[in-house]
Amino acid sequence: MDAFWAAPPVSRTITALAFVESVLVYSRMLSGYYVFFTPSLLFKLPPQIWRMFTSFLLTGSGISFIFDLYFMYHYSSSLEIASPRFTQPEDFFTYLVFVASVILLTSGFFLGNTIFTSALILAMIWTYAQDNRGRRATFIIIPMPVEYLPFAMLTFTAVFAGWDVALGESMGIVAAHSHDFITRIYPTFGGGRNWLTTPGFVRRYFRKITPNPTRRPYGTAFRQPAAQPESTSTSSGSSWTSAFQRQNNDPWSGRGAGRRLGGD
């Protein structure tokens, strides 16, 4: 359990939810009817709004169950930990909400698809590829620039599952590119403003559940504030492919009070 709680908070949560939901569905403890995205059921009374979330958490069956969970955690944690776009977990959470909303509108309402797990994973892979342009990746046994990886995966899906399935998954690329355009391309090259920022209430919520986050090359640490000793004096302190793969300490903190040499 220590390894689980040490994982990035957003990535570990969505992966764990996908694991639980998929196990329940494929073991027939839960009917898939209750997790599919069905627009008509969103507007009946009472509205079944949970479908907007459960439709992103059902993996494929068989070997796809393992691969989908692996890709979901690997690429989400890579973005949450190391992407320059997301300085805190709440920024990555806002990214997921945005791309999921675009996927719902395009793949769900427009194309009529019911499950969007692969589209969400492809969105994260697209963003990862844009952050790591120039690096090499391996798709099955074929080395290629990482920028081509999402398209290679789409082609694989089209060949083995059909163009209609690939079209639904491609909405993940549309969603991720829309986020990239709004938050990076337009503000940087078009002189516009980034309107997609993390809301204050989201930041406050994450501050409560992840106190004192510290970004590190190998992960994100969350340190509880140390209890201050009682004292009368004051002190200063402070379905697819293969994977990729300071806190600044004050050396003078905790020293005693300075004294002038040669004093009386």
Question: pTM of this prediction?
Answer: 0.79
The pLDDT assigned to 75 comes to 95
Name the pLDDT band for 234 (thresholds 50, 70, 90). Answer: very low
Per-residue model confidence as pLDDT tens digits over 44-100: 889 999 999 999 999 999 999 999 999 999 999 999 999 999 989 999 999 999 999
What are the tens digits of pLDDT across the range 138-159?
A: 888 889 999 999 999 999 999 9
Q: Is the dihedral of CA 136, 137, 138, 142 positive or negative?
A: negative
How far apart CA 198 and CA 204 sit, in angstroms, is: 10
* CB environment 181-206: b (16+ within 10 A), e (fewer): ebbeeeeeeeeeeeeeebeeebbeeb
> CA 257 to CA 243: how far, in whole Å?
52
Residue 136 reports pLDDT greater than 70: yes
